[in-house]
Structure 1
Amino acid sequence: MLTDSMQDQLSRLRALNEQIARIEQRILEWRRIDNACKRISEIPGVGVLTATAAVSVIGRGPCENAG
């Protein structure tokens, strides 16, 4: 019974890891095509997740419309 339970949990963890990998790929794709995310993520110490979160919360700002 314990072995089966552990196998079930391991299977769930693998599925969760796959979901996380797909989400990370979508975030990286968003950064690649979104100029605001790209600029923010180039700031030292700011990663892709922080940059995409900032753009989604703050927006792109007035400069995005000009260029």
Structure 2
Amino acid sequence: MDTQLLKLEIDMQNHYTVSTLYQAIQDELKQHGRPLNWIVSGVDKDSQKVYVNAIFLAAELNWCNCLN
């Protein structure tokens, strides 16, 4: 089983609470499949971006990309 690291950039604008930001992260992750694990790796206050690193199974990631 191979894993793949995916780096995502989430726009923080219009997410004023932790719960709405969490939901935005979950929605973005769902577009790529179901991650084994994910973490917020950084925040850029000036550009209002949150950076997320997620680990996916490579086979699952490829399968989800075929469906889109």
TM-score, length basis structure 2: 0.30
**Structure number having the greater strand percentage:** 2
Structure 1 or 2: larger helix share?
1
> Using CA pairs below 8 Å that are at least 6 residues apart, which structure has the higher relative contact order?
2
TM-score by length of 1: 0.30
